[in-house]
Structure 1
Amino acid sequence: MSSFLSTSLQRSVAELHINENNRDDEVNVLFEIIADPKLPGGVQPFADVSRFSQFPEEKEVLFMAGSIFHITDVISGGSFSIVKMELCSKEMNDLKPLFETLRNEYGGEQAGKEQEASLNSFAIVLFNMYRYDIADRFFRRIYYESSNNDPNRVRYCLNIGNVALHTGHYEECADWYDRALKLCESHSFIDHPIEANIHLVRGNLYAKQHRRKQAITSYNKALTIYRKNFGENHSRIATCYSNMAGLFERQKYYGTSLEYHETALNVANHTLPATHPDLVFYNLNLAKLLLELRHRELQRALTHTKKACEIAQKIMPTEHPKFLDIYETMGKIYELMQDFERSTLWYNKVDALGGWQMADVHIQRKWNKRKEFTCIRCHRRTWIYRSFEWMKDTRLNCLIFHDFGFFLLDIERYCCHY
């Protein structure tokens, strides 16, 4: 937005413009804005200009460039989606820390200085929305259009590698991470946070390839550099601890994993705004681990899951894929508490969002091959291959796969988990 944002007090006027611009390759969006003229300082001017307009019946309202809006809800469906927003002040205490944190994160780093958002920042937003194909095109375009002396090429290589990692192209991913490390050396970014970022994502690559020793080594390298630059309390140190916790959890070192999960959440709580998206992941990861321990801590797991859900409801659209994870964890907790009425309620929410298709090919395969359901006999949440869906509610299936299967899982959890 380079000048003014033109809006109307008449919904019919906005819908008329939507109907005039119907294209198969575009998604129509209607923005509903609540603007309070009594907000404190830091709000860009806006005004009803109907009496100055050639079309006063449109009741046009103009917002100045630089206006900040807080998205409160996203409603999909019908011929267009609806995005509900509120005009915000730059001085609003609850949003200012989050705004500054996200601006710095998406701006990136160059020679130790925080940079403003750019086209690369937009591509990162697409990446975080799981639009890997579009994000990849932007990252590659930026990389190939940049000069050989541009220090930001390190970040561009890193981002292209991240897309390859999330789409399962591990050899290509390793190649781009190697390029990024070489560029770090050529630009003298030694012990710089960008070098730590590369070691961190290389650790993620090694973890995907089940090369656990190399993954731990990479995570420790990243952690050492982060500590040199930021001390003990920084959001990226929390990310490091969280990734290491996940690795130890897959190795069934549950005691060590619990310690790292708790440390990650503690650091994040001290360094991130109260509504930062990462807090959703840290709380939920800790809750899921607490359910796998030999002596399950159900009440504590419920507390962390509720916290994750509370934050997600404030900052994420209602159809965000993370809600699948939250709802399923909530249902499992109540199921273990023998509160089948509440567990069924949360599992129904999972089923309602079950059609959501993520860009991650592995999750797509899972949803395409499996049918998740709540057994009407034992009230357990489980799954069955779609080719055998006809027998999901039979007594034989419940006896063999539910009673006996969950009995074996309980033995494994008691013998192997700490």
Structure 2
Amino acid sequence: MTDDNLRKSIEDIVFVCDRHYRNNPVEEKTLKQLEEMYNPVNAVWWYTSETFIYRILNRALNRQDFEVLLVFRFLIRDLYKQLANEQQKFDVPVIIVYRGQIMTVEELESLKINETKFISFNKLLSTSLDRRVAISHAKIYNKDIRKTSVLFEIEANARLQGAKPFANVTHLSQFEMEQEVLFMAGSVFKILDILRNENEKLWIIKLVLSGTEDNNLRDMFEIMKQEIPEETNISTVGDIFFQMGKYDQAKRYYKRLIKLLPETHPDISVCYINMGTVANETGDSKTAYSLFTKALELELNQSSLNQLRLCAILNCLGISTNDYNAAIDYHNQALDIQLNIVGYYDYSTAGIYINLGNDYLKQDDYDLALVHYNKALDILKKVLPDYHPTRAAILTCFANLHYKKKEYDLALDNYQKALSIQLVCASDHIEVGKIYKIIADIQLDMNTLNEALFNYRQALLVYEKASLNTYHTQIIEILSKMAEIHKKNENYELAIKIYEKLLSIQLGYLPWNDLSIAWTYKEMSFALMQERYVMAALNCVYKLLYILEGNSFPSDDPYIIWTKKLINGYQTIIDAAQNQ
């Protein structure tokens, strides 16, 4: 990492932490020192110092809080490198270290019955070469009968391949008396034995360092190594969240930047571009267009116009506008700038050709759409590896084209190819959910119901994991179609369960009188009747009528008349059953 990028990374920490520690003189002083004095060779010293850095980083590691971890990426990298370098200095290959702590009885019992016999530590693990120091930490006065004292006795081989690094950091730490050996976050240990030492009145847990990586933190370390670019700017952390499909975190980060930066800041327009991109990806094109327009205004007011940034804004305006002719105009303006400055064989040029293809596809001009998609494909074949998310994107474009032309087999083939690439790149990215859903839509059209149901379930898993808040509209649509399939398959009990889940989301996110809720009550009543739940079905129809009347449907409206007839029919069935 260059000095400039290190400084920018530290600025990210100051930016994020300032809101927590403003008006706290001690921590404000720490932030200032960090900004002015941090050096990678002092990473361990900074981590072990009695400041908020130790607390906030370990909490983030424990919770796998990517937002904080990405901000602290430089410190995690430097700690990793420093521990790996120091590990080479051990005189003997195998050492014994100790860690004393208080643990709940439940935690101890879970270790005793641990079938895998492995334990991982998400946080950096502090141990001591001095058993007495470790025992002093275990013997801290404890009144809580639900907790007990434990001593970890750890055997670690400094020559072991595949393990996270560890090192004697006594000479690097602020606490030299503790003879500290520090293990990197994600270290995994095999449990050898757990026994009670009655003389010392504590539990002894014997561990040995394992070469197995902790799966829970593997993604985080891969991001640290691969996804974070060397050249960073003020929005880099938000950009990484966006690339990961974590749009809520990206949006939160960009919002903080906009609040912090003055409108004269040279990168302020980038924040609005990124905020607009998040809005567009989550289906809010109106907000996106407004944000892109603001970005254009800010960029045009800069003392010197950044042509590539102007190109990006024009491209984004084209994506978000509902005027197809205006979209083509925006994208052609962006393409002219892109070709003049960067040239044809560039990743970004391919992106503009894809957007132009999408514009023509919306106008049902299949030939021009195909021309532009082929140009994008020609570029991407030369500039990107086979398994890259953008290669999946162009396959999705071809699939969309075939789908609109009702060439379902060709559409499915391209969607499946795109899905296979996305699953390799990022299996929980929102694009995976989108592809699963559209594959299911096609299969539903083709009446291959079981295959469609499987893919709707896969899509639902991705959307629910991403964010119910952001994707409730898509989740509602998927649940509606899943219920429809269960009804066609005459699995009415399953359909009822889906409708119950669907209603809970609709009632949580939509106005009480939204007509889609009324139609869910209607469809649910039919499923309930098939299972002879007549009273429950009647209740649904009364709620249907309530919503219709809440939308001011007149009394002679066909829907009102039909609904009242249905109520009378269900009531007749109930009365007949009661008179038997």
- Equivalent position of 1:317 in the other structure: 468
Q: Evaluate the alpha carbon distance shift between residue 277 and residue 6 of structure 1 in structure 2; reply closer, same or farther with a 3 A threshold.
A: same
Mapping of 1:17-416 within 5 angstroms?
45-46=54-55, 67-68=68-69, 92-95=217-220, 100=227, 103-104=239-240, 106=242, 118-119=270-271, 120-146=273-299, 147-164=304-321, 168-271=322-425, 273-293=426-446, 296=448, 298-318=449-469, 320=471, 321-354=473-506, 356=509, 371=519, 373-374=522-523, 376-377=525-526, 388-391=558-561
- For residues 370 and 352 of structure 1, the distance between their equivalents in structure 2, rounded to whole angstroms, comes to 13
Taking a change above 3 Å as real, the CA distance of residues 204 and 280 of structure 1, as seen in their structure-2 partners, is same
Deviation at 1:393, TM superposition (A): 5.2
Instruction: Give CA-to-partner distance per residue, 1:112-159, whole Å, 9 cap, x none.
Output: xxxx98412233223334443443333223334334443222211111
Match of 1:416 in 2: none
- For the Cα contact (< 8 Å) 2:503–2:517, is it kept in 1? no
The Cα offsets for residues 333-359 of structure 1, whole Å up to 9 and x where unpaired, read as: 32232111212322343344447579x
- Alpha carbons 2:506, 2:517 under 8 Å: kept: no
User: Are the equivalent residues in 2 in contact too, given 1:261–1:282 (CA < 8 A)?
Assistant: yes
Provide Cα deviations, 1:170-212, integer angstroms capped at 9, x if missing partner: 2221211111011112213312111111111112211211112
Q: Is this contact kept in 2: 1:245–1:260, CA < 8 A? A: yes
Q: Which runs of 5+ in 1 are unaligned?
A: 8-42, 48-63, 70-86, 108-115, 359-365, 397-418
What amino acid is the match of 1:243? C
RMSD: 4.0
CA contact (8 A) 2:412 2:442 kept: yes
User: How far, CA to CA, are the matches of 2:123 and 2:19 in structure 1?
Assistant: 15
Q: Quote the Cα distance in structure 2 between the aligned partners of 1:395 and 1:375.
A: 17
Secondary structure of the residue aligned to 1:338 is coil
CA contact (8 A) 2:282 2:470 kept: no
Report the more deviating stretch, 283-292 or 146-155: 146-155
Alignment-mate amino acid for residue 301 of structure 1: A
The one-letter code matched in structure 1 to 2:288 is A
Q: Given that residues 242 and 264 in structure 1 are in contact (C-alpha distance below 8 angstroms), is that contact kept between their aligned partners in structure 2?
A: yes
CA distance in 2, matches of 1:65, 1:200: 31
Percent identity between matched residues is 17
Q: 1:329 to 1:140 in 2, by over 3 A?
A: same
Give the equivalent residue in structure 2 for 1:50: none
Letter of the structure 2 residue corresponding to residue 328 of structure 1: S
Question: Which residue of 2 is the match for residue 36 of structure 1?
Answer: none
TM-score, normalising length: structure 1:
0.62
Which residue identity lines up with residue 161 of structure 1 in the other structure?
Answer: G
Q: Is the 8 A contact 1:98 1:275 kept in 2?
A: no
Please state how far the C-alpha of 1:316 moved relative to its aligned partner. 1.2
Shift, 1:281, TM fit: 0.7
Change (3 A) 1:330 1:375: closer
What amino acid is aligned across from residue 452 of structure 2 in structure 1? Answer: A
- Conserved? CA contact 2:314–2:330, under 8 Å: yes
State the Cα distance separating 1:3 from its structure 2 match: 3.2
User: Which structure has the highest helix share of the two?
Assistant: 2
Residue range with higher mean Cα deviation, 155-164 or 311-320: 311-320
How many Å separate the matches in 2 of 1:375 and 1:153?
A: 51
Q: 2:345 aligns to what SS in structure 1? A: coil
Give the distance between the partners of 2:380 and 2:241, measured in 1 at CA. 15
In the alignment, is the contact (CA less than 8 A) between 1:377 and 1:393 conserved in 2? Answer: no
The count of residues paired between Structure 1 and Structure 2 equals 306
Does the CA contact (< 8 Å) of 1:181 and 1:198 recur in 2? yes
In the other structure, the counterpart of 1:19 is: none
Q: Determine the C-alpha separation between the residues in 2 that align with 1:187 and 1:241.
A: 27
Contact 1:44/1:66, CA 8 A, preserved across alignment: no
Distance (whole Å) between structure 2 residues aligned to residue 349 and residue 392 of structure 1 = 26
C-alpha distance 234-330 of structure 1, shift in aligned 2 (>3 A): same
2:452, 2:223 → 1: CA distance? Answer: 26
Contact 1:192 1:225 survives alignment (8 Å) = yes
- How far apart are 1:368 and its partner, in Å? 8.3
Aligned to 2:212: none
The letter for the 2-side match of 1:374 is E
1:210 aligned counterpart, secondary structure:
coil
Closer/same/farther in 2, CA of residues 137 and 292 from structure 1, 3 Å limit: closer
Once residues 342 and 306 of structure 1 are traced to their aligned partners in structure 2, the CA distance between those partners, rounded to angstroms, is 13
Counterpart residue number, 1:22: none
Q: CA 1:311–1:377 in structure 2 vs 1: closer, same or farther (change >3 Å)?
A: closer
How many Å apart are 1:95 and its aligned residue?
4.8
Conserved 8 A contact 1:344-1:374 = no
- 2:134 matched residue in structure 1: none
CA distances 1:342-386 after superposition (whole Å, capped 9, x unpaired): 12322343344447579xxxxxxx968994541745789xx9x97
Q: Is the 8 A contact 1:291 1:301 kept in 2?
A: yes
Q: Which has the larger radius of gyration?
A: 2
Cα distance in 2, alignment partners of residues 352 and 6 from structure 1: 36
Structure with the bigger RCO (C-alpha within 8 Å, sep 6+) is 1
Do the aligned residues in 2 keep the contact of 1:375 with 1:392 (CA within 8 Å)? no
Shift of 1:392: 5.1
SS of corresponding position for 2:333? helix
Q: Is contact 1:309-1:326 (8 Å) kept?
A: yes
Q: TM-score, normalised by structure 2?
A: 0.46
Structure 1 residues 393, 134: closer, same or farther in 2, change over 3 A?
A: closer
CA 1:349–1:367: 2 relative to 1, 3 Å: same
Partner SS for 2:20: strand
Q: Deviations over 1:315-334 (max 9, x none)?
A: 21356222112212321232
